[in-house]
A and B are shown apart, each in its own frame.
Chain A
Amino acid sequence: MTRKDRMNSSMIQVYEIESGNFTKAGEAAGNIKKLLRQLGIDAGVVRRVSIAAYEAEMNMVIHSIGGIIKILIDPEAITFKARDTGPGIEDIELAMKEGYSTATDFARELGFGAGMGLPNIKKCSDDFIIKSEVGVGTRLEARFNIST
């Protein structure tokens, strides 16, 4: 498939994520799952993307002051992008460790902040990049290949 063909049959969906809104939390990930299923994407891929999307969404709800999730789908791959404004991550290597968390007590009382978010996203994706600037915000991108 040429680059042009891929561009012609690709789509983008954008979701706004609100900080601290736990009633809405998980909605974007749910919508992404439904979307991928309607597109007929393989069940295993759908599951991996939705887990990653949920974790990223929760991270934004808990830690950031708001952000955007973008999902790009073309016949070969799904690219998931999350960008937020917020405190950023001081030590990314530490944040990628399972069990490490800086979540507030309130978030923990709700059952979040187990320190599995980022490691989970990485585990689920085929390609994973994270960039962060302290005091500005965090961007992450995860790629999922669609096996055909």
Chain B
Amino acid sequence: MQEYYHSVTLDKEKCMGCTNCIKKCPTEAIRVRDGKAHIIAERCIDCGECIRVCPYHAKIAVTDPLSSINRFKYKIALPAPTLYGQFKKITDIEKVLVGLEALGFDHVFEVARGADFVTEFTKRQMADSDSPRPVISSACPAIVRLIQVRFPELIPNLADIQSPMEMAAQIAKEEFSQKHRVSKEDIGAFFITPCAAKMTAIRNPVGFDRSSVDGAISILDIYGPLSTVMRENTPSKVPGRFQNATFRGVAWANAGGEVDSLDMDNHLAVNGIDSVIKVLEEIEGNRLSDLDFFEGLACIGGCVGGPLAFENSFVAQTRLKKLIHKMESPKPLSPREVDDAIEIYNWRLDKDILPKPVMKLDDNISMAIRKMEEMERIYGDLPGLDCGSCGSPSCRSFAEDIVRGYASEFDCIIKLKEKVRILAQEMIELSDSVPTGREGRAKGEEEPYEDK
């Protein structure tokens, strides 16, 4: 496995070298060099902000094609609840699930059901743990990575519980293999995703070794074929064959769904990565110490706002709310079911989440101090426009890039212009000075003044 796999990548052909993405990236992970954007792999958290902002659609999220499910003998679809909000006039979740079956899956297991389990695990953990408060949800993979890169002090606050997607995959595979007496090796579980970071989380999990999910298919890719089969399918199938998540699990698709399901007083839910960063800064400064639980979602509106969702996020959000309001909820999990799940499944993150000190100037602190001083000196000489023309997101990060050896002072167009002006001045001065000891005049030169 690659150390830095990323779903978010650049289509070099389409990149015009503009500076939209570098300015929007929350971890300053993009630079424009030689007319093309470059993503710094160590810093990228796959939040998808650059995908949204790129006017040339040069930033893309790589996911698996639908055909990739054929690698497995048995195929299970794990739809994110966001999927339900993509369809106009949706009244019945089962219709979407049956549609997925018609696309070639042997079984469909709702990730919302996984969320129902995660809610119960979180409640239990909150009740008997003395972990630092607030506990921060680890459900959004972009936020987990953001914390590794920008808020390493908050790593101990992350809930060490698997995501709804992972729980859904574990449970679906276990149940399917029991029921049909087949080996788990032959079962492939595929997440139907609105999210690029989830794809990365499958390939390169944080907090545990190997994902139980075998691939991710983007909602954008599956929307067309799925809506076609949904139109053609006659709704004659047995109702409730696949649907088993409660309305609370489904509500996780919208921002605030997770905290609502926890039934807790001191909680806070924030969505949109810029807003999440502001609140994490508050938490880091110990200014929200009366908070018990924090849900931060990178996308505006929550998962419905994911870069791979088809429908406008506000429309999808409203549709989901209506659906949840009307839906006849399957029975909530019994304490017994939760106990059993705790026995059977790997529901905790069992590996340490490590900080990614990518902002660090040098491993040696003396060296780092020297570089920092150099950086301050360079920064003091820069125009402070933060224009991005040099290819770095701000004058400060440009100074940092120079110190790190990735850029040079004259990549700054203002500095370059200044230098050109000085050089031009010098050239005029040079051309004005007549070499001494030269007798004659060049052609076209005026008569020198006569000595009086």
Contacts and interface: CB of A to CB of B under 8 A. Distances in A.
Answer yes or no: are A and B bound together in one complex: yes
Interface of A: 5, 8-11, 13, 26, 29-30, 33-35, 37-41, 43-44, 46-47, 50-51, 54, 73-75, 120, 146, 148
A34 B152 CA distance: 12
Interface in B276-290: 281, 284-287
Contacts, number: 63
B373 A40 contact: no
A26 B278 CA distance: 12
B354 to A, nearest CB: 11
A29 B365 contact: no
A146 B366 CA distance: 12
Contact of A75 (B357, B363, B366, B376): B366
23 contacts: A9-B365, A9-B369, A9-B370, A11-B369, A35-B372, A37-B152, A37-B357, A38-B360, A38-B368, A38-B400, A39-B360, A39-B361, A40-B357, A40-B362, A40-B363, A40-B368, A44-B153, A47-B153, A47-B284, A50-B285, A51-B286, A73-B369, A120-B286
Interface in B341-371: 355, 357, 359-363, 365-370
Interface of B: 152-153, 281, 284-287, 355, 357, 359-363, 365-370, 372-373, 376, 400
A51 B287 CA distance: 9
A72 to B, nearest CB: 11
A75 B365 contact: yes
A37 B373 CA distance: 14
A10 B369 contact: yes
Contacts of B367: 9
Contacts of B372: 11, 35, 38-39
Contacts of B281: 30
B284 A146 contact: no
A148 to B, nearest CB: 8
Contacts of B357: 37, 40
Contact of A11 (B285, B286, B287, B373): B373
Given A11-B372, A43-B355, A73-B369, A37 B360 contact: yes
Nearest to B282: A26
B285 to A, nearest CB: 5
A50 B369 contact: no
Given A30-B281, A38-B359, A39-B360, A146 B369 contact: no
A75 B355 contact: no
A38 B359 CA distance: 5
Contacts of B368: 38-40
A74 B286 contact: no
A41 to B, nearest CB: 7
Nearest to A1: B366
A85 B424 CA distance: 50
A29 B153 CA distance: 15
5 shortest A-B CB distances, which residue pairs?
A: A9-B366, A40-B360, A47-B153, A39-B368, A43-B152
A73 B363 CA distance: 16
Given A37-B152, A39-B360, 19 more contacts: A5-B366, A9-B366, A9-B369, A10-B369, A11-B372, A29-B285, A38-B359, A38-B368, A39-B361, A39-B368, A40-B360, A40-B361, A41-B365, A43-B153, A47-B153, A47-B284, A50-B284, A51-B286, A148-B365
Contacts of B361: 38-40
Contacts of A40: 357, 360-363, 365, 368
Contact of A74 (B287, B360, B369): B369
A75 B369 contact: yes
A42 B182 CA distance: 50
Nearest to A13: B376
A120 B286 CA distance: 10
Contacts of A50: 284-285
